[in-house]
Amino acid sequence: MSAINESVAIIAPQVVRRGPSRKRKLARIARQQPLGVFGLVIIVLLIVAATFAPLIAPYDPTSIEFSSFQSPGGSHLFGTDDKGRDVLSRVIYGSRTSLQVGIIATLIGAVGGAVVGLVSGYFGGLVDILVQRLMDALLAFPFLILALIMVAIFGNSIPKLMALLGTAIIPSIGRVMRGVVLAEKEKLYVEAARSIGVSVPRIMFRHILPNVAAAIIIVATSLLGTAILVEASLSFLGFGTPPPTPSWGADLSGNARVFFVHAPWMAIFPGIALSLVVLGFNLFGDALRDVLDPRLRNR
Amino acid sequence: MESHYFQENLHVRTYAIRRLLLMVPVIILVTIAVSSLMRIVPGDPATLALGQEATEADRERFREEYHLNDPLPVQYIRWWGDVFRGDLGKSVVQRTSVSDELKQRLPNTLELLVLSVFFTALIGIPFGVISAIKQNTFLDYFLRSFSIAGLSIPNFWLGTLLLMLPAIWWDYFPPISNVSFWDDPLANLEKYYLPSLTLAIGSSATVMRLMRSSVLEIMREDYVRTARSKGIAERVVIVRHVLKNALIPVVTIIGLQVAALVGGSVIIEQIFNVPGIGLFLLNSIFARDYPSIQGLVLFLAVIFMLINLLVDLSYGFLDPRIRYS
């Protein structure tokens, strides 16, 4: 080993040691989880498409300047729809709607669920009982039906969808959090913190939260995929993203079904995009669970 | 031995009773939330139901008919009084009884569910077993890819394709009208097999996955090795020793899938025009028919909570090591 390398290692041993080993660790994980990597690639593609939609999309997704029902190929790779809009541009912009609604809803659910789980698990007693009944009320219904009932009450617009889907996610994360917190709060470091007089909120958010973050990340990743799917389902049923905003669920419903025999590409391309994204989140979520929480492997 | 069994039985009963009692506050919470929130949102229910052209007198008569002039708590308590008499309210759009509508539609949704569970088991169990026995062969990879795909394809897209592609390729359309199974079984099944199959694909993928790992786990057990070493034919070992035990967790998962299937049936009933509970819910939401929504929410909440309870109880029934506390 050369002298320079040695001196670097002495000055900054952590930097030198950590850099390559973390990279190697990631590479090993990637080799063990090829499907997870594939899922991650799909998710990255989704994020790229959503972020750079105006640069990637050939046309304005709401522009109706083209002739209707052009089959795929030529200047319209995915064809045009009944109103003369470019399907490829709508699919690309649709990724924006999906990702925006999915991410914001999941963030609301993760933050709400973390708070609910921490409070319920840490305090226990009456607070726990009351909070859990509230969560039971939300968990009484499958996700889609809960979302439908909420939309029936509050109506639908994109911000409302984010808030409603986020609320619907809270109990799923809250329940996992509560279980983890129950186990965590008995550990020595919490007792140590308590004995030197650390305040309760600080124990919850600075001591316990970082230790249970893995659980939140695992659940949130799979719920992000679910949120995207439920947004699409609601839009498919006509209770989701209002037109003319491009949304995969809405685009493959309505007139796409009426004219399916005539112009199947209207329904097929948004459907493929949606299936790929759900597949990506499923594969990545599975891999993440294997890596972060080996106890759950093969379940 | 017998007294222990009795005690265990008692535990299960206490557990079930406690769970049933816990359902009461949840149901009260859900119904209060729905009934009050539905009325807080803007829009006069009378105008919504009768349209803009209705006169003030019509609207007033409507309000009288539905007791809308009473304070909300009075309306809520009156509603529970009706519910205990078996009356879930009256639709403001169809002007029909919600309970009658439910009774009429329930068999259709039930048939959809029964057929879906049948297809789920029919596809999921054998594919899972084959995948496990042929572990790490091409067939295993193929079946596992099929399972991942089945989990990822949104059921409404799959349903649209299953309905539309045969129409393009073979000019085939499933019947639109709904015929009772008892009147014409063939025509009835022709309407229901496609929606059931659509619903079953996703859940069969889950079942297949679990069946595979369950079989793999049990094939490593000592008693399976013993059975093999006794010289019993592999086929017999698989069927008699492995399958019997591997099925236990799978049965529970199929039960869990029922709740998911009911959730999915909403969207599938809409695609295939099955006049069931799900389509009723959608139509009610679309028309903002709040008495129907309120009745349906109560009905669905009770159903889902009972399914969840049954699933939790079945864990202990299938696996005696599980204790309820």
| pLDDT, tens digit (0-9, with 9 covering 90-100), for B188-238 | 777 788 899 999 998 899 889 888 888 888 888 888 888 888 888 888 888
pTM above 0.90, yes or no: no
**Residue B54's pLDDT band (cuts 50, 70, 90):** confident
Structure tokens given for B38: 């539905």
**Residues 231-270 of chain B whose Cβ lies under 8 A from any Cβ of chain A:** 259-260, 262-264, 266-267, 270
Best B160, B261, B290 residue to mutate vs chain A (most A CBs within 10 Å)? B160
When scoring B26, B40, B153 by the number of chain A Cβ atoms within 10 A, the one with the most, hence best to mutate, is: B26
AA identity, residue A91: V
Domain that holds residue B200: 106-318
> Which of A153, A264, A282 has its CB closest to that of B37?
A153
B37, A143: Cβ pair inside 8 Å?
no
d(CA B294, CA B317): 35
Rounded distance between C-alpha atoms, residue A39 and residue A279, angstroms: 7
Query: Is residue B94 assigned to a domain?
Result: no
Which among A144, A238, A264 has CB closest to B266? Answer: A144
Instruction: Please say whether the beta carbons of B311 and B255 come within 8 A.
Output: yes
Amino acid at B169: W
Structure confidence at residue A109 (pLDDT): 93
Report yes or no on B59 lying in a domain.
no
Average pLDDT over residues A75-84: 74
On chain B, the residues whose CB falls within 8 A of the CB of A264 are: 164, 168
User: So what's the pLDDT on residue B202?
Assistant: 87
Residue A129 confidence (pLDDT) above 80: yes
- Report the CATH number that the domain containing residue B293 is assigned in CATH: 1.10.3720.10
Domain ranges of chain A: 41-53+76-298
Angle at CA of residue A279, ends B201 and A139, nearest 5°: 70
Q: Which CATH number fits domain A41-53+76-298: 3.90.550.60, 3.30.200.20, 3.90.930.12, 1.10.3720.10?
A: 1.10.3720.10
* Helix, strand or coil, per DSSP, at residue A73: strand
- Residue B225 belongs to a domain: yes
Tens of pLDDT, residues A206-257: 888 888 887 788 888 888 988 999 999 999 988 888 888 888 888 888 777 7
The position carrying tokens 């490829």 is: A88
pLDDT of residue B7: 59
Q: What would the two tokens of residue B6 be?
A: 């009795």
The owner of tokens 């049923």 is A237
Over 80: is that where the pLDDT of A22 sits? no
Of A143, A237, A282, the CB nearest to B282: A237
DSSP-assigned beta bridge partners for residue A76:
A73
Q: Report how far residue B278's alpha carbon sits from residue B284's, in angstroms, rounded to the nearest whole number.
A: 10
The answer on pLDDT for A297 being more than 80 is no
Beta-bridge mates of residue A86:
A80
Average pLDDT, chain B: 81
Residue A12 has pLDDT above 70, yes or no: no
For residue range B111-158, what is the model confidence (pLDDT) as tens digits?
A: 999 999 999 989 988 998 888 888 888 888 888 888 888 888 999 999
Q: Give the torsion through C-alpha atoms of B66, B69, B74, B76, to 10 deg.
A: 50
| Total of domains in chain B | 1
The type of residue at B206 is T
What average pLDDT does this structure show over A7-19? 47
Residue B132 domain flag: yes
Helix A125-139 to helix A87-123 angle (10° resolution) is 150
Closest C-alpha to B210, from B170, B162, B248, B263: B248
In this prediction, residue B8 carries a pLDDT of: 63
d(CA A241, CA A161): 8
Q: What per-residue confidence (pLDDT) applies to B246?
A: 80
Q: Give me the pLDDT at residue A139, please.
A: 84
Residues in chain B: 325
Angle of CA points B111, B114, B116, to nearest 5° = 105
Mean model confidence pLDDT for chain A: 81
Supply the pLDDT for residue B74: 81
Q: Which residue has the higher pLDDT, B118 or B255?
A: B118
CB contact under 8 A, A267 and B281: no
Q: How far is B246 from chain A (nearest CA, A)?
A: 14
Handedness of CA A153, A157, A161, A164 (dihedral sign): negative
Question: Is residue A154 scored above 90 in pLDDT?
Answer: no
* Better pLDDT: B129 or B86: B129
Q: Quick check: is B218 in a domain?
A: yes
Residue B3 lies in a domain: no
Dihedral angle computed from the Cα positions of residues B272, B172, A251 and B150, in that order, rounded to the nearest 10 degrees: 70
Interface A-B, measured as beta-carbon pairs within 8 A, has a size of: 117
Separation CA A148–CA B278 (nearest Å):
11
Residue B317 is predicted with a pLDDT of 67
**Helices A158-184 and A125-139, axial angle in degrees (round to 10):** 140
